[in-house]
């Protein structure tokens, strides 16, 4: 597999941080990856300060990988390319800038943050041969105090179909289950029964919904969506 330049949505809560890869239906980017990460001390402090200043929770943070060392006047010269599955493995360390956009301007939170991959929350190749879920399906992960949903992406629509797929990450306001919600390190699939897997049906902030665990529809979880952290329509080419 050829190397490529990969960028990520960065988010977290309850002392945990995550990266969600920006996927595309093309060979080097055709993976849905969510990983839990650890930051170095300086990066942790910088993120905490940035989040404390964001009283309206409008900032959406990204991480772009760069070679560790001096910062060139043209930051693109420092970009670090890798083979995604070879790099996003538990224990490996990547280096990059964490930033957010405001009025189209890039605001740097910290440069050259050291980011260690702690756990693989979700990894799935976007393969046209894989079946696409018919019901609206999300990946549940996080902790009782900071839980998240990411829309499951599996494959582009079949030729001739007009629907698009989408990359969406949501934070949750409340989570209730009959068995109690314990921290989820590895993502678990949950479905909105009877809701078709289309972008027009995606979950929205403040929406309250009951979701069933895939493979055990008797077990359900009720959530209230807090914020939409990531939303991108994905191209449908195969």
Give the lowest-confidence range in 89-93, 105-109, 214-218.
214-218
Q: How high is the pLDDT of residue 69?
A: 84
Question: Is the pLDDT assigned to residue 137 strictly greater than 90?
Answer: yes
Question: Is the pLDDT assigned to residue 163 strictly greater than 60?
Answer: yes
Q: How high is the pLDDT of residue 188?
A: 92
Ranges of each domain in the chain: 8-122, 127-234
The mean per-residue pLDDT over the stretch 73-83 comes to 89
Question: For the segment 43-61, what is each residue's pLDDT rounded down to a tens digit?
Answer: 999 999 999 999 888 999 9
pLDDT-based confidence at 174, cuts 50/70/90? confident
Choice between 22 and 162, residue whose per-residue pLDDT is larger: 22
The mean per-residue pLDDT over the stretch 158-176 comes to 81
Q: Mean pLDDT for the chain? A: 89
The mean per-residue pLDDT over the stretch 124-135 comes to 86
The mean per-residue pLDDT over the stretch 150-169 comes to 80
Question: For the segment 2-36, what is each residue's pLDDT rounded down to a tens digit?
Answer: 788 999 999 999 999 999 999 988 778 889 999 99
Q: What percent of the chain has pLDDT over 90?
A: 61
Does the pTM exceed 0.85?
yes
DSSP string computed for the chain: ---B---EEEEEETTEEEEEE---SSGGG-EEEEEEEEE-HHHHHHHHHHHHH-TT----EEEEEB-SSPPPSSGGGGB--B-HHHHSSTT-EEEEEEEEEETTEEEEEEEEEEEEEEEEEEEEE--TTSPPPSEEEEEEEE-SSSEEEEE----PPPTT----EEEEEEEEEEEEESS-PPPEEEEEEEEEEEEES-GGG---TT-EEEEEETTEEEEEEEEEEEEEEEEEEEP---
């Amino acid at each position: 597999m050829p190397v490529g330049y990969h960028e990520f949505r960065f988010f977290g809560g309850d002392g945990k941080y995550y990266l969600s890869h920006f996927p595309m239906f093309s060979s080097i980017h055709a993976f849905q990856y969510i990983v839990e990460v650890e930051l170095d001390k300086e990066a942790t402090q910088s993120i905490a300060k940035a989040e404390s200043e964001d009283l309206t929770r409008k900032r959406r943070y990204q991480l772009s990988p760069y070679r560790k060392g001096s910062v060139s006047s043209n930051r693109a010269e420092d970009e670090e390319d890798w083979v995604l599955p070879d790099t996003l493995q538990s224990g490996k360390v990547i280096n990059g800038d964490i930033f957010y956009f405001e009025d189209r301007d890039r605001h740097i939170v910290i440069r050259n943050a050291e980011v260690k991959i702690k756990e693989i929350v979700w990894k799935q190749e976007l393969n046209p041969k894989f079946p696409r879920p018919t019901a609206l399906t999300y990946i549940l992960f996080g902790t009782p105090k900071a839980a998240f949903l990411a829309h499951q992406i599996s494959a582009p629509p079949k030729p001739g179909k007009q629907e698009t797929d989408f990359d969406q990450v949501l934070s949750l306001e409340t989570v209730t289950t009959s068995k109690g919600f314990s921290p989820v390190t590895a993502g678990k699939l949950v479905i909105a029964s009877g809701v078709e897997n289309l972008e027009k049906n995606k979950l929205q902030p403040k929406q309250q919904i009951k979701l069933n665990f895939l493979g055990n529809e008797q077990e359900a979880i009720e959530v209230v969506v807090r914020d939409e952290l990531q939303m991108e329509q994905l191209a449908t080419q195969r």
